Structures are given as C-alpha cells and as structure tokens.
C-alpha cells in the first residue's frame, strides 16, 4: 500500500510541476496582458489543486486532509478574484485594448 501511495504522490506532484511550468512560461513569454493573467491563473488553480492533492495522499491523516481541503477552498476563493481584478483593471485602464476586444467606453462617463 505504501508504494502505491508514494507513486500517486509523485505522479500528482509531477502533474503540478507541469502546470507550474506552463504558468511560468506563459507569464514570461506572452506579450498581451490577458494571456499572461490567464496563464498565471492556471498556476493559481490547477497546479495548486494537484499540489494539495499530492500532499493529501502523502500525509494520509484525516485532520491534515481536512486542513489541506480548507487551504484549497480558501485559495480557490481568493486567487481567482485577484486574477479577475488584474484583468478588470487592465480592462478599464488600457486604451489600446480596443484593438483586441469589443467594449463600451467607460472613460467618457466618469
């Protein structure tokens, strides 16, 4: 049983590392900010989920699993909101964004 748990932990940690590599590459190589925000969001959600899953399987204690689930719930609540706000501030502040997306113009009203 012990080796199965080890293999599962290593597998999920490897998947998480793959997602993190995706996130880092996207954040540094993309030029448009929405793409970079998106790839950062992948690191915040998917990679974090696999890290926490691997930690859960690796520890095996019920209290640790519950605490890790709380951590996951908290991070899944908060990091997408900050990602959303990065995108939203870009949406309101960037005047060149009209080249990429259709939007109503908020600037003249304020």
Partner 1 sequence: MKSRLRAWFDGDLSGMEEFVQVTETPDATHEDFKQTELAFEESLPQNPRSRMIERLGRKSYHILYRVVAVTSCIVFIGVMLYVIGHLSRFGTDNPRADEVSRRYIESGLEETGATNIVAGMILDYRAFDTLGESHVLFTALVCVAMLLQLDRKNTRRDLEDYYTTTLDVYFRTSQDRILQTIGFFVVPFIMMFGIYVLVNGHLSPGGGFSGGAILGAGMIILSCSLGFKTADRLLTARRLNLVTFIALAFYSISKCYVFYTGANGLENHIPKGIPGAILSGGLILPLNVAVGLVVACTMYGFFSLFRRGKLGSD
DSSP-derived secondary structure letter, 96: G
Site string for partner 1, 20-59 (x = CB under 8 A): -----------x----------------------------
Contact between 85 and partner 1 by CB under 8 A: the answer reads yes
Q: Are 19 and 46 in contact (CB under 8 A)?
A: yes
Tell me which of 5, 17, 88, 103 binds partner 1, using CB under 8 A.
88
* Distance from C-alpha of 109 to C-alpha of 35, rounded to nearest angstrom: 28
Q: Are 85 and 36 in contact (CB under 8 A)?
A: no
Query: Would you tell me which residues interact with partner 1 (CB under 8 A)?
Result: 31, 74, 77-78, 81, 84-85, 88-89, 92, 95-96, 107-108, 110
């Amino acid at each position: 049983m012990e080796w199965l748990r080890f293999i599962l932990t290593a597998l999920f940690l490897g998947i998480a590392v793959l997602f993190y590599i995706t996130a880092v590459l996207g954040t540094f190589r993309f030029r448009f900010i929405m793409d970079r925000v998106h790839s950062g969001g992948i690191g915040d959600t998917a990679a974090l989920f696999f890290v926490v899953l691997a930690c859960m399987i690796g520890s095996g204690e019920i209290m640790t699993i519950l605490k890790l689930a709380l951590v996951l719930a908290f991070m899944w609540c908060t990091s997408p909101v900050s990602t959303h706000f990065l995108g939203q501030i870009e949406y309101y502040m960037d005047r060149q964004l009209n080249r990429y997306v259709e939007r109503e113009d908020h600037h003249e009203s304020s």
